[in-house]
Structure 1
Amino acid sequence: MSAQTYAQPLPIYIGFDHRQAVSYNVLQFSIFRRSSKPVTIAPLVLPSLPITRQGLTPFTYSRFLVPWLNGFQGWALFLDTDYLCLADMAELFALCDDRYAAMVSKNEKRFEWASMILFNCGHPANRVLTPDYIEDPQRCRFPHTMDWLPNELVGDLPREWNHLVGYDPPRNDAKLVHYTQGMPVFEETSGSEYSDHWKLEHQAANQTRGWVELMGHSVHAGATADGRKVAKLHPQSVVR
């Protein structure tokens, strides 16, 4: 197990795609409301990063910047945007093993290994992952196969931490659900496994209680002649 003690928030980086921002919003909400420890969640927004290289998504290559973004220190997690978290991220970080430079779920679809990566950012083997290296297709050719690392430096995580909907056999104990063929928000994938879980999370992430409950007892509230609570921005309605 890792000798590192997590006194600081757990650093999590999520690929961001402006074409489907709803996926990022639901994922980050599902993470922080289940975590028993503080987390920092950073979206990898390509225009704000020191590379321009992209593929099917804007974060196809920016994921490999995580060790550099984390100052080549500690452990940090990368996730594709199309996940749902159903467990405590502290449980995942507890699996960090300093023998490895990176840890992934080595499922049968090797092209999906890099969709969730626990990076040992301080490991010397990850020092190659600089912006210049990642931007160069001649040097950084097949990073999604973890080709910058020897096999013995890539650890294996339990399959429930990267359950591939539509590829892996169905299971009821997935901790990170990966809608790799498309989130349930799309008509084409609306009936997929764990689709109801995603839709409930989306609803929870975009709800709010009423104004009276949240603000009715604050200094920003006034009352009408019949005692109703109203915002002071409507002075004509407030009894002075």
Structure 2
Amino acid sequence: MGSIDGIKNVDAEKPFKVFVGYDSHEDIAYQVCRYSLLKRSSIPVEVIPIKQSELREKKLYWRVRENVESTEFSFTRFLTPYLVNYEGWAVFVDCDVLYLGDVKELRDLADDKYALMCVHHDYTPKQNEKMDGKVQTVYPRKNWSSMVLYNCAHPKNRVLTPELVSSQTGAYLHRFQWLDDEDIGSVSFVWNFLVGHNEVVDSDPATHPKAIHYTLGGPWFDDWKDCHFGDLWTAEMEEYKKEHEKAQAQ
């Protein structure tokens, strides 16, 4: 296995795997997320949708869906290390994200001393509802699991089996309770920039988002067409559709 800047578990010869949470009610969000990520990546990337229906068909996921699950990938996201056979590094990200930066920069932050790395948000949503009227839940480490850079080869992540993900509580999974605090590395909020929470300081490039997360709802919902940064997503969506139509015509 190759190494990058001393990172043992990153193989530069293989495409970097990015798993995107897929919800059948938000297909266009997934398509735009994928398009924006591939468009700006300077390295080979394999984008893989995590589809609950497919995991159920393969007997890799069987928990009964609860009302608190706002998306179809609320829990399936934690199968990321299992899906790469606990090898190397991989990313999980929610589908309601628009990439403005090169995912290579995120990959290069990987540090083998951590089991995973993410943005350590201090986030308490003000609204009681999100997206298309779904209930907004509040819990410690909220939104930490919405973008995770997983060290899939880390021994502690081997507990993330289909059996555990299908049975453990939301608190255990979303708060990363299979890990100790020192196992959880931190990356800048610009890689999971929460619309309505994080702020841009024009004079400070370190605050300019590299991945915009429309966590409360994005322009693909009628009620959120005018949300902050919504124009960027809409422009990307129109570009994606033109490229898709061009490819279909060939």
| Contact kept? 2:42, 2:102, Cα under 8 Å | yes
Matches of residues 57-136 of structure 1 in structure 2 within 5 Å?
57-109=71-123, 110-136=141-167
Matches of residues 137-152 of structure 1 in structure 2 within 5 Å?
137=168, 141-152=171-182
Aligned to 2:129: none
In angstroms, what is the RMSD of aligned CA positions? Answer: 1.9
| Contact kept? 2:22, 2:50, Cα under 8 Å | yes
The alpha-carbon distance between structure 1 residues 171 and 130, as it changes in their structure 2 partners (threshold 3 A), is farther
Equivalent-residue separation in structure 2 for 1:105 and 1:161 (angstroms): 7
Equivalent-residue separation in structure 1 for 2:245 and 2:51 (angstroms): 33
The alpha-carbon distance between structure 1 residues 119 and 25, as it changes in their structure 2 partners (threshold 3 A), is same
User: For structure 2, which runs of at least 5 residues remain unmatched after alignment?
Assistant: 1-5, 124-140, 203-207
The alpha-carbon distance between structure 1 residues 62 and 208, as it changes in their structure 2 partners (threshold 3 A), is closer
SS of equivalent to 1:200: helix
Q: Any idea what the Cα deviations from partners look like across 1:103-135, whole Å, max 9, x if unmatched?
A: 000011221000000000000000100000111
Aligned to 1:233: none
Aligned to 1:36: 42
Aligned to 2:135: none
SS of equivalent to 2:90: strand
2:240 to 197, 201, 205: 205
| Contact kept? 1:46, 1:52, Cα under 8 Å | no
User: For structure 1, which runs of at least 5 residues remain unmatched after alignment?
Assistant: 216-240
Aligned to 2:54: 48
Equivalent-residue separation in structure 1 for 2:190 and 2:25 (angstroms): 28
| Contact kept? 2:20, 2:50, Cα under 8 Å | yes
Letter matched to residue 52 of structure 1: W
| Contact kept? 2:11, 2:88, Cα under 8 Å | no
Letter matched to residue 2 of structure 1: I
| Contact kept? 2:200, 2:209, Cα under 8 Å | no
Identity over aligned pairs, percent = 34
Equivalent-residue separation in structure 1 for 2:245 and 2:198 (angstroms): 41
2:195 to 149, 165, 169: 165
- 1:147 deviation in Å? 1.1
SS of equivalent to 2:220: coil
Structure possessing the higher relative contact order (Cα contacts under 8 Å, 6 or more residues apart): 2
Q: Which has the larger radius of gyration?
A: 1
Equivalent-residue separation in structure 2 for 1:126 and 1:201 (angstroms): 35
Letter matched to residue 186 of structure 1: F
SS of equivalent to 2:79: helix
SS of equivalent to 2:113: coil
Aligned to 1:26: 32
Equivalent-residue separation in structure 1 for 2:103 and 2:54 (angstroms): 26
Equivalent-residue separation in structure 2 for 1:210 and 1:165 (angstroms): 30
Name which of structure 1's ranges 17-26 and 186-195 shifts more when overlaid on structure 2: 186-195
Equivalent-residue separation in structure 1 for 2:49 and 2:168 (angstroms): 23
Aligned to 1:183: 218
